[in-house]
């Protein structure tokens, strides 16, 4: 019968296995214990391999595929584009994430917040310190801009920056440089209206710096909100493979927005400069009271500035946060923006407007 054949075959196989096992045991003799140990070890291997390696070793060692990044022991100053590109090529080859913070120096706690965010996100952090002549409207303003490289490098070191790129003007704009990026319609309003050509200089130098560093992401502050939107537009239009990370406005204890230009204010002028942040808050408070009409919000802000002596107002505006278009009513997230000159120093400030959100003390 077919069933009997299968049963007999199975029994024979079983007897054969038992006989083979008995023979091996008798042959090993005293070595039987060793064979048993080896057999036990062999049996445990599949159990070990089925465990998740990272769960056991992640606390004591990095993942097997983690990038091996050779960071400098201290902040290193680089002066040429070729030096930066060589270091970044090595970092990318090691699988490192590169973060970049472009600045014009005269660093303060606002910049420190940007650097800290880059350090949190990246394996390698690069900060540039370059006072860009092409974004200044006057030679006097360019000459008056503070330059304190040693102090800036010290702050970068405290924030864990790996490389500071501090080029001369000829390194960014070498002899024969004849290319300029012209910013679009967004650059012709507010700051662009008051400072013709300013944003052309900004987007040109940003594109040059991004080409040199080639970071995975770059961090910008929201204090220069119009500039932030222009940089995002630049990256989108030119298909640059970099993420733009935005950080909120950082304020001093008196609520004045941190700016490198603040060092040029006398104590009396500094007190007057507080009117800008008070105007922003007044506009936000009007929205909190349920006033969504932009005219009402602007009237609240302008009344604060009107009562501030020595503050020459350039503009107070409410704009859509995404496209920077004027809005009649704040029904979606918007921005209130202020610009004024105090003691010969041009200052800007802004703050978000969130309709339907109530602030709690």
- The three state secondary structure string of the chain is CHHHHHHHHHHHHHHHHHHHHHHHHHHHHHHHHHHHHHHHHHHHHHHHHCCCHHHHHCCCCCCCCCCCCCCCCCCEEECCHHHHHHHHHHHHHCCCCEEEEEECCCCCHHHHHHHHHHHHHCCEEEEEECCCHHHCCCHHHHHHCCCCHHHHHHHHHHCCCCEEECCCHHHHCCCCCCCCCCCCHHHHCCHHHHCCCHHHHHHHHHHHHHHHHCCCEEEEECCCHHHHHHHHHHHHHCCCCCEEEEECCCECCCCCECCHHHHHCCHHHHHHHHHHHHHHHHHHHHHHCCCCEHHHHHHHHHHHHHCCCCEEEEEEEEEECCCCCECCECCCCEEEEEEEEECCEEEEEEEEECCCCCCCC
Catalytic site includes residue 198: no
Task: Indicate which residue of 111, 216, 314, 323 is catalytic.
Answer: 111
Active site members: 111
């Amino acid at each position: 019968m077919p069933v009997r054949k299968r049963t007999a075959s199975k029994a024979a196989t079983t007897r054969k296995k038992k006989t083979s096992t008995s023979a091996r045991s008798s042959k090993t003799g005293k070595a039987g214990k060793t064979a048993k140990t080896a057999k036990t070890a062999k049996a445990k291997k599949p159990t070990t391999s089925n465990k998740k390696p990272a769960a056991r070793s992640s606390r004591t060692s990095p993942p097997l595929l983690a990038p091996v990044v050779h960071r400098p022991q201290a902040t290193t100053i680089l002066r040429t584009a070729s030096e930066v590109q060589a270091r970044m090529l090595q970092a990318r080859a090691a699988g490192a994430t590169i973060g970049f913070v472009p600045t014009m120096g005269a660093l303060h706690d606002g910049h420190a917040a940007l650097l800290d965010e880059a350090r949190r996100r990246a394996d390698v952090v690069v900060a540039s310190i370059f006072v860009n002549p092409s974004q200044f409207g006057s030679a006097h303003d360019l000459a008056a801009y503070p330059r304190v490289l040693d102090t800036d490098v010290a702050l970068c070191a405290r924030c864990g920056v790996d490389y500071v790129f501090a080029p001369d003007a000829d390194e960014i704009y070498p002899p024969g440089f004849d290319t300029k990026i012209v910013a679009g319609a967004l650059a012709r309003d507010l700051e662009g209206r008051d400072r013709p050509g300013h944003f052309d200089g900004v987007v040109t130098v940003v594109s040059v710096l991004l080409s040199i560093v080639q970071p995975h992401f770059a961090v910008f502050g929201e204090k220069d909100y119009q500039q932030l939107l222009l940089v995002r537009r630049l990256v989108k239009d030119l298909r640059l493979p970099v993420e733009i990370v935005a950080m909120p406005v950082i304020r001093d204890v008196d609520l004045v927005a941190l700016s490198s230009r603040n060092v040029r204010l006398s104590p009396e002028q500094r007190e007057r400069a507080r009117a800008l942040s008070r105007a922003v808050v007044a506009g936000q408070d009007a929205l909190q009271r349920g006033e969504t009409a932009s005219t009402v919000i602007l009237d609240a802000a302008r009344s604060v500035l009107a009562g501030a002596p020595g503050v020459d107002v350039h503009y107070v505006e409410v704009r859509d946060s995404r496209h920077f278009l004027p809005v009649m009513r704040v029904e979606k997230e918007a921005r209130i923006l202020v610009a004024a000159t105090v003691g010969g120093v041009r200052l800007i400030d802004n703050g978000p407007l969130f309709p339907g959100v109530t602030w709690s003390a």
